[in-house]
Structure 1
Amino acid sequence: MTENRWKGGKPATPSPWKSRSPQAERQVAPAVPREEAEQDPPQRVIRPAGEMRLYGINACLAAFARRPGQLRKVYLLESRIAELKPVLAWCVKQRLGYRVVENTDLDKLTGSRHHEGICFEMLRPPALALADLLAAQPAAPDPSLLIWLDGVGNPHNLGALLRSAAHFAVAGVIVPKSSSLDLSGAAARVAEGGAEVVAMARIDDQQAAISSLRTAGYTITATVPRDGAGLYASRIAPRTVLVFGAEGEGMNKALIETADQRLTIPGSGIVESLNIAASAAVVLGEYWRQQHAH
């Protein structure tokens, strides 16, 4: 067997994985951090800037449908070949590598056991500025719904929220530039394709962002666990920014005080509140009902 070598002349361990394309002979990159807290400690991953790994069949197919030109490599189980024939044909046409691998290999590649037999390496969607997001919205007074996340950091919560946001036609999600929240493979999988249709914008200055949103005709509505107006007894403006805070610390007080409206989801009181993903689904459902009720 001919020994494979990196460019620096150092020997590399030959890959044990079979390649279905001559362009796919590169070694597999290191595993990403596992999403299960009880597993091994996270390892630092070095990957070309701007690339990310998507996994989960719906997340991957949605990304390929909307931006096939950003696909860079495909890993899949043999059982997924028939379902992914259009993707593999694209890989052959574009001279992109794809590999048929084992389930344990995908566990390592994705850092998750929930990959559903597929992993795509794709370019990361570019971050939007708030001005770009607003420019894509219909002009006032036409309806438009945005979400502002303050202090939320859990990727699974983000994924669940993006899934609900896509279902209820939310136009975009706003997060502070300082936030660690970003689209990840875990978030995209949980979103089930929703991450591809709900834009994310980052803001530098909270007050400037609020001013821009009000100028564009939006009402700033904060969702709070207590002392807000009852959700089902309140009217949500057609052009609204719904602000959600993290569990525990919640959103910052300045943002609550700045809001034009504060809403609370009524309940039994047995538990203090719903988590961010469940809260978002409830409030978005009520907004949709109000906009589409006849």
Structure 2
Amino acid sequence: MEVLYGLHPVEEAIRSGARALDHVSVARDRRDEKLDRLIELCRSAGIRVTHESRDTLTKLARTDMHQGVLAMVRERKFLAIEDLMAPEKDGHRFFLALDGVEDPHNLGALLRTAEGAGVDGVILPERRSAPITATVAKTSAGASEHVKVARVTNLVRSLEQLKQKNVWVLGLDERGTPDYTDFDFKTDCVLVLGREGAGLHDLVKKTCDHLLRIPMAGKVSSLNVSVAGAIVMYEAMRQRRESAAPPPAPMPPKKRKGLGS
């Protein structure tokens, strides 16, 4: 069993149904509408609710950032690359791969953005990567419970597998070209983000079909990885939504008034 804490992570774990919950514990001294709704959600889902002291919840969560809500959940089962490609989908696929993101807050922020931007799956290496912990779930506001995540032993080999399936591999690099806004995301592709501060590993960079850059107008040369990832993911979503939207209906011609009317 794993510990999950925070109102939104626990609520989203129940809603997603991806993992079985043993029980949910809430602080005895917390009374508000949000907590009442969570307790009602637990009852509807047949999940046992216990009332504990805040000190007990803090000991179980190993932090006082639990907001008076904690759940015991089954360990997450990760997918394989084949699982991400298996479901049929109308339109093009868009994946996110992380090459050595080790800060749990960055990982949580990226998973939250990936879920919001409609990413079809996230690829994480088993080594040199932050695990999906309760801190990641809390930072993602529960989005980590909805995102499909594949854990792979060799990221380069997995990217090569995607290339064999006609998926373009796009690295984000401050020295890359073209700008991310100049790339056509209306195709099957995977966006690869590198380590905090150091960027992509050399072998991963060589595996990429294109290296995109975010133009910088200030004196710093790059952005935080979670911010940079969010910018590109939402540009990809914008392009895809525009291509999928029906063309606007033509405006009716205006009636012209003649002279003297």
TM range (shorter): 0.7 to 0.9
C-alpha change, 1:67 and 1:213, in structure 2 (3 Å) is same
Does residue 232 in structure 1 map to residue 181 in structure 2? Answer: yes
Change (3 A) 1:64 1:276: same
Cα contact 2:186–2:239 (8 A) shared by 1: no
Match of 1:210 in 2: 159
| 1:131 matches 2:82 | yes
Q: 1:244 Cα shift?
A: 0.1
Structure 1 gaps, min length 5:
1-50
User: Which of the numbers 212, 222, 227 marks the counterpart of 1:273?
Assistant: 222
Query: 1:254 deviation in Å?
Result: 1.2
Aligned residue runs from structure 1 range 10-29, under 5 A: none
Q: Give the distance between the partners of 1:158 and 1:206, measured in 2 at CA.
A: 16
Bigger drift between 129-138 and 217-226 goes to 129-138
Equivalent AA in structure 2 for residue 89 of structure 1:
R
- What SS does the corresponding residue of 1:266 show, helix, strand or coil? coil
Alignment of 1:258-269 (within 5 A): 258-269=207-218
Query: In the alignment, what sits opposite 2:252?
Result: none
Structure 2: gaps spanning 5 or more residues: 246-261
CA RMSD of aligned residues (A): 2.1
Deviations 1:138-196 (A, max 9, x none): 37xx3111011001111111111011001100011111222342211111111112112
- Counterpart selection for 1:112 from 63, 74, 85: 63
Aligned equivalents of 1:114, 1:268: Cα separation in 2 = 37
Asked whether 1:79 is paired with 2:31, we answer: yes
CA contact (8 A) 1:145 1:240 kept: yes
Matched AA of 1:145: F
Q: How does 1:1-294 map to 2 (within 5 A)?
A: 51-67=1-17, 70-77=20-27, 78-79=30-31, 81-89=35-43, 93=46, 96=48, 98-136=49-87, 138=89, 142-293=91-242
TM-score normalised by the chain length of structure 1: 0.75
User: 1:237: how far off?
Assistant: 4.3
Tell me the CA shift for residue 87 of structure 1: 4.2
Question: What is the TM-score with the length of structure 2 in the denominator?
Answer: 0.83
User: Whole-Å Cα distance in 2 between the matches of residues 274 and 137 of structure 1?
Assistant: 35
Supply the distance in 2 between the matched residues of 1:191 and 1:114 (Cα, whole angstroms).
Answer: 14
Q: Distance in 1 between matches of 2:156 and 2:21?
A: 37
Q: Structure 2 CA distance, aligned partners of 1:105 and 1:272? A: 46
The DSSP-based 3-state class of the residue aligned with 2:31 is helix
CA contact (8 A) 1:137 1:171 kept: no
